[in-house]
Structure 1
Amino acid sequence: MKSILHKAATRGNADHGWLQSKHTFSFANYYNPDRMNFGVLRVLNDDSVSENKGFGTHPHRDMEIISIPLEGDLKHMDNMGNSTVIKSGDVQVMSAGTGVMHSEYNNSAENPVKFLQIWVLPNKKDVTPRYDQITLDVSDRENKLQQIISPNPNDAGVWIHQDAWFFMTKLHQGKNISYTLKKPKKNGVYVFVLSGSAQINSQELDERDGFGLWDIDTFNISATSDTEILLMEVPMELNN
């Protein structure tokens, strides 16, 4: 097994007043040559957007963009004709492909919106842009893994143009769960602790820590407190 640990306090920080963002990997004004990606996982931003504020219309191309709201309501609009609001329990995906324009705003005048924005490099370029979102039953992740993203349009959750699988779980203190990689010879797993604390093998993980593992078939997660975790299995090679 090979691994890499990214403690929460080592992430890049962006303070724009209306936007507070923590960058696990190099992004915008934060550049660290040792923190460019984990395989095809290129961006993991932990964002908090103030009331009635947001990102104006901007372009993307050839990227799988995933938004996971944690608190509050996020308003999305794009040039494909979509105008939606996503909230905690929802997962949104946008395949930018040949090019898309979109905006994201806090839909509340009273409370901030907190969400993860995740970019995954696709295994196909110049695809037709697409948008999808799903509302999940969060009770289905209590002490078990709930699949939220896969490569398969007919599978649970939403799908992306990549051999990647994302899961979320809420583990009660003292509970254990195991994960077996779908493609252990090709993929690795990046574990991101949303809340609480957990242990993988002998590695202790706290809130907002990230832990990448590869050259491994299976591993166990032990909850050292009540914890919520996002698990992302992705190819380790950038050229697919």
Structure 2
Amino acid sequence: MEIIRADSRGAFKNEWLDSRHSFSFGEYYDPQRMGFSSLRVINEDWVAAKGGFPMHGHRDMEIVTYVMEGALSHKDSLGNGSTIRPGDVQRMSAGRGILHSEFNHSTDETVHLLQIWIQPKFSGIQPGYAQEHFPLEERRGRLQLVASEDGRDSSLRMNADASLYASVLQAGDALSYQKPAGRAVYVHVARGELILNGVSLQAGDAVQVRDEAELAMTTATDAELLVFDLP
């Protein structure tokens, strides 16, 4: 297992955005951190009140937004408009090209989110958008599938060979994940503290796994985490 500590991530800050980059992104470049398998970007963003990303474009990328605090307003060139809140997961298939904006309309509340990019299985597809709410009780104490290639178990369908699970743990909870043979797994601690195969992890830490067959996870406090099953 390879551990990525939160304080080793890249950073960017301006008047409305405070961001941490697990992999090379924007002005942060590290040739040793260009992604992991098909996972290309995990940005942890804090968007200040009345701040946001103006309309901009992407192509040939599966973009997943996971909000932990606040409400983020979304608009795109497909005509979609929505608000993403905690428990919501948004998937945007950029395909052959899409424009979108994300904005925090609150006057006093910061939005805390993870933006995730996964390399698609096919390029040049029709752009697409989907959003689903996954109630806390469905994620508490278990790994809830929120996005996958085949859309199984009511997850969001992605144009990518990847499965994304979310979980919220309370003190004393325990999880076990059996890594399929030949696959890679990436675990990101979104909040709290997690012990994974005896290794203590804090919020913002992550673990890249290729050889471990079983991942045993527990916590003495509270924790929120994402688990990626990757090729």
TM-score (normalizing by structure 2): 0.96
* 8 Å CA contact 1:85, 1:107 repeated in 2: no
Amino acid corresponding to residue 97 of structure 1 in structure 2: G
* 1:223 is aligned to 2:215: no
Amino acid corresponding to residue 198 of structure 1 in structure 2: L
TM-aligned CA deviation for residue 154 of structure 1 = 4.7
Q: Indicate the percent of aligned positions where both proteins have the same amino acid.
A: 37
**Which residue of 1 is the match for residue 201 of structure 2?**
205
Bigger mean CA deviation after superposition, 192-201 or 57-66: 192-201
Runs of at least 5 residues in structure 1 that lack an aligned partner in the other structure: 236-240
Bigger mean CA deviation after superposition, 159-168 or 222-231: 222-231
Partner secondary structure for residue 204 of structure 1: strand
How do residues 81-160 of structure 1 correspond to structure 2 at under 5 angstroms?
A: 81-160=79-158
In 2: Cα distance, 1:85 partner to 1:175 partner: 31
In 1: Cα distance, 2:102 partner to 2:170 partner: 33
In 1: Cα distance, 2:83 partner to 2:174 partner: 34
**Which residue of 2 is the match for residue 238 of structure 1?**
none
**Which residue of 1 is the match for residue 187 of structure 2?**
191
Amino acid corresponding to residue 38 of structure 1 in structure 2: F
Bigger mean CA deviation after superposition, 198-207 or 112-121: 198-207
In 2: Cα distance, 1:139 partner to 1:152 partner: 23
Partner secondary structure for residue 139 of structure 1: helix
Moved >4 Å (runs of 4+)? none
In 2: Cα distance, 1:32 partner to 1:154 partner: 35
Match of 1:11 among 6, 9, 12: 9
- Structure 1 residues 178 and 154, CA, compared in 2 at 3 Å: closer, same or farther? closer
Partner secondary structure for residue 25 of structure 1: coil
Amino acid corresponding to residue 89 of structure 2 in structure 1: V
Match of 2:23 among 4, 22, 25: 25
In 1: Cα distance, 2:5 partner to 2:220 partner: 17
Match of 2:66 among 65, 68, 81: 68
* 8 Å CA contact 1:188, 1:216 repeated in 2: no
Match of 1:38 among 36, 39, 54: 36
Bigger mean CA deviation after superposition, 154-163 or 58-67: 154-163
TM-aligned CA deviation for residue 195 of structure 1 = 1.7
Partner secondary structure for residue 155 of structure 1: helix
Amino acid corresponding to residue 169 of structure 1 in structure 2: S
TM-aligned CA deviation for residue 194 of structure 1 = 1.5
TM-score (normalizing by structure 1): 0.92
In 1: Cα distance, 2:192 partner to 2:99 partner: 36
CA shift digits 1:188-232 (9 cap, x unpaired): 111111222121113211111111111333221121322111111
In 2: Cα distance, 1:223 partner to 1:234 partner: 24
Amino acid corresponding to residue 112 of structure 2 in structure 1: K
Partner secondary structure for residue 149 of structure 1: strand
RMSD over equivalenced CA pairs, Å: 1.2
Partner secondary structure for residue 190 of structure 1: strand
Runs of at least 5 residues in structure 2 that lack an aligned partner in the other structure: none
TM-aligned CA deviation for residue 175 of structure 1 = 2.2
Equivalences, count: 231
